[in-house]
Structure 1
Amino acid sequence: MKIAMINGSPKPVKSNSALMLKTLDPLISTGNELTYYNINKRPLTIEQYCELCRMDTLIIAFPLYVDGIPSHLFRMLVALEEFMRVEREQEIYVYTIINNGFFEGRQNHIALEIMRNWCTRCGLHFGQGLGQGAGEMMGFLEKVPLGQGPLKNLGKAMESLAHNIHSRSMDESMLFSPNFPRFAWRFSATHSFWNATAKKNGLKKKDMLKRL
């Protein structure tokens, strides 16, 4: 089976979307041909659009942007829709992995519906979507085994997704948060991420609280 792994993050390196695809890779690589597409570096070529139309499965990972899809990914999907109408010859299944900065994974539900509607317009099968909350934690948890500790929910979701990809099945989307107390996540995000990032950029805590 030919599978396209599409990274829809605008980050050129170290994106959570790339990490999600990397996590899924060993669960679906056996017996399948995986091809990676990183659309944040340069626009897809006509040849690459045609390649996507001949895939059996598209897996699209991206971060949530204002409850929707990043603009560069949206442009790519609009262009791909036109190619699908002309070039597609077989049934294609689409699976989506979304991460967002809010703690609650349910914040991703609108973006999942956008992807489902896009599949309908293109005549594609929307297989399943995953919505991970507190996505910015992922970069700090690379050494935690999938399915354990804070990644317990993600492990279950990835296993479900991998099973459906292998069997080309459709299933209910899964929206979830990490297995980590919300108050601890908020404390860590404030002191270890936001304040540290501000200091790195020459700002003080009081600067972040100023009203423009």
Structure 2
Amino acid sequence: MRIAMINGSPKLGKSNSGMMLKALEPLINAEHEVLHYNMNKKPLTDEQYIELCHMDTLIIAFPLYFDAIPSHLLRMLTTLEGYMKAERKKEIYVYSIVNNGFYEGKQTYIALEIIKNWCIRSGLHFGQGIGQGAGEMMGFIEKVPLGKGPLKNLGKAMESLAQNIHTHDSDESLLFSPNFPRFAWRFAATHSFWHAKAKRNGLKKKDIIKKL
């Protein structure tokens, strides 16, 4: 099976989407051929679009933007839809991984529905999606083993996703929060992320909440 892993993050460096694809890859049977595509560098070429039309499986990972898909990824999918209608010769299954900054993974529901509808328009099969809440935690806990501690829910979801990818099965999407108390997540996000980021940019705490 030829599998395309599509990183839809706009970040040029390390991204949560990239980390989640990296965590999934070892769970996919080694007999499969995995190719990587990054939307954060330059637009896909005609050859790459055609190549995607000859894959068996597409895995699309991206961060939530205003409850939807990042604009650059949406443009790419719109273009790919045309190629699929003209070039596709076999059944292709699509799986998706979405992360968002909100604590609740259910916030990714609309974005996964958009991917489902895109699959229908493109003549593809939507297999399953997973939606991870508190995605910005990923960079701080990347050394935690998948399936352990705050990544327990993510580990279970990844195992389900990997199994369905391997067998080309479909299943209900899994939307979840990290195994980490919401109040602790909020405290850590405020003091370790927002306040620290403000300080690096020459701002003070009061500047963040200042009314314009």
TM-score (norm 2): 0.99
User: Who is 1:145 aligned against?
Assistant: 145
Quote the Cα distance in structure 2 between the aligned partners of 1:129 and 1:177. 14
Kindly indicate whether the alpha-carbon contact (under 8 Å) linking 2:10 and 2:40 is maintained by their aligned counterparts in 1: yes
* Amino acid in structure 2 at the alignment position of 1:197: K
Q: Residue in 2 aligned with 1:176?
A: 176
Counterpart CA distance in 1 for 2:170 and 2:147 is 22
1:136 pairs with 2:125: no
Query: Which whole-Å deviations, capped at 9, do the CAs of 1:7-31 have from their partners, x for residues lacking one?
Result: 0000011100000000001011511
Q: CA RMSD in A?
A: 0.5
**2:108 equivalent in structure 1:** 108
Instruction: Render the CA deviation track for 1:81-133: whole Å, top value 9, x for unaligned.
Output: 00000100000000000000000000000000000000000110000000000
1:198 equivalent in structure 2: 198
Deviation at 1:211, TM superposition (A): 1.1
Distance 1:101 1:176 in 2: 12
Mapped partners of 2:165, 2:96: distance in 1: 11
What is the DSSP-based 3-state SS (H/G/I as helix, E as strand, rest coil) of the residue aligned with 1:175? strand
Query: Which residue in 1 is equivalent to 2:73?
Result: 73
Query: Are residue 120 (structure 1) and residue 123 (structure 2) matched?
Result: no
> Deviation at 1:40?
1.3
Question: Match for 1:177: what amino acid?
Answer: S
- Which residues of structure 1 form unaligned runs of 5+? none
Unmatched segments (≥5 aa) in structure 2: none
CA contact under 8 A between 2:29 and 2:166: conserved in structure 1? no
Q: Deviation digits for residues 139-179 of structure 1, max 9, x if unmatched?
A: 11111111010000000000000000000000000000000
In structure 2, distance between residues paired with 1:175 and 1:47: 34
Give 1:47's aligned residue: 47
Structure 2 partner of 1:210: 210
- Structure 1 distance, partners of 2:116, 2:153, is 23
Mapped to 1, the partners of 2:58 and 2:12 lie a distance apart of 21
2:140 and 2:118 map into 1 onto residues whose CA distance is 33
Number of matched residues? 212
Amino acid at match of 1:62: F
Q: What percentage of residue pairs aligned between the two structures are identical? A: 74
Match of 2:18 in 1: 18
Aligned equivalents of 1:106, 1:63: Cα separation in 2: 13
TM-score normalised by the chain length of structure 1? 0.99
Which amino acid counterpart does residue 193 of structure 1 have in structure 2?
Answer: F
- For 1:80, the aligned partner's letter is L
**Structure 1 14/29 Cα, relative in aligned 2: closer, same or farther at 3 Å?**
farther
Point out 4+ residue stretches in structure 1 off by more than 2 angstroms. none
AA aligned to 1:82 is: G
